[in-house]
């Protein structure tokens, strides 16, 4: 197996165990133990630990080992961490937290985009919405997800604010999490699709208020949908 694949496997295994609590805060690992457990070389173990350290999930000190850090130290915007949390028993709390975050920045981004989007970005939003309409009707959720991710990424970029644009992967992980954990209906709700159409229309026409309102409604609809399915969240 290529070294990159081995590194990814070890990283995923350790990261998920930390998120699940199997490796609790304060637990100490050694590189020797990681090497042996995953049957990998020292360089692979070091690379995986280095990434976890960059995510605030562990610290590594000579003569001490690799120490798992408390959740308060985690870099919660890291897309990998978001994905692991959505795959864990922490899913409901993570979705709630992300929904609250999105409600704070995506309507703002939509309003800014109404005044700053380029013709190319407006065209990209329209194309993404058209794809969403088609895939919602057919029930092709993976293709719908791909179009939805493009829509939100372009919208954040069109805000003209690099800090908002940098949150595109966070939003993408939220959207993917809903789809991959069966929190989407077989056919996306027409209300949600229509709201995306309204955002694109408002951005094209330069109506910041309408863009903000429609985006806020999109997030509210998604939050309500997740709440309705709360019994399926583990």
pLDDT digits 0-9 by tens, 212-227: 999 999 999 888 877 6
Distance CA 219, CA 211 (A): 13
pTM: 0.89
> Which fold is adopted by the domain 3-73?
Arc Repressor Mutant, subunit A (1.10.10)
CATH 1.10.10.10 residue window(s) in the chain: 3-73
Contact predicate 95/174, CB 8 Å: yes
- Decide: helix, strand or coil at residue 168: helix
Distance CA 195, CA 215 (A): 7
CATH 1.20.120.530 residue window(s) in the chain: 79-232
82-139 confidence digits (pLDDT tens) = 999 999 988 888 998 999 999 999 999 999 999 999 999 999 999 999 999 999 999 9
What six digits make up the tokens of 68? Answer: 């798992």
| CA neighbor of 58 nearest in space, from 49, 68, 50 | 68
Helices and strands counted in the chain (H then E) = 11, 3
| CATH class held by domain 79-232 | mainly alpha
């Amino acid at each position: 197996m290529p070294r990159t694949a081995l590194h990814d496997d070890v990283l995923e295994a350790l990261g998920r165990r930390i998120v699940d609590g199997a490796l609790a805060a304060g637990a100490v690992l050694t590189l020797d133990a990681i090497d042996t457990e995953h049957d990998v070389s020292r360089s692979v173990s070091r690379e995986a630990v280095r990434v976890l350290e960059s995510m605030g999930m562990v610290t590594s000190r000579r003569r001490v080992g690799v120490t798992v850090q408390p959740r308060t130290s985690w870099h919660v915007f890291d897309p990998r961490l978001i994905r692991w949390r959505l795959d864990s028993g922490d899913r409901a709390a993570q979705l709630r937290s992300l929904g609250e975050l999105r409600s704070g920045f995506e309507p703002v981004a939509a309003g800014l985009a109404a005044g700053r989007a380029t013709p190319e970005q407006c065209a990209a939003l329209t194309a993404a919405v058209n794809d969403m309409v088609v895939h919602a009707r057919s029930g092709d959720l993976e293709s719908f997800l791909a179009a939805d991710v493009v829509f939100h990424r372009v919208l954040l970029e069109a805000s003209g604010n690099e800090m908002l644009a940098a949150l595109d992967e966070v939003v993408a992980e939220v959207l993917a999490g809903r789809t991959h954990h069966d929190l989407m209906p077989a056919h996306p709700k027409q209300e949600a699709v229509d709201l995306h159409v309204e955002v694109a229309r408002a951005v094209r026409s330069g109506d910041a208020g309408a863009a903000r309102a429609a985006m806020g409604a999109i997030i509210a609809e998604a939050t309500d949908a997740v709440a309705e399915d709360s019994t399926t969240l583990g």
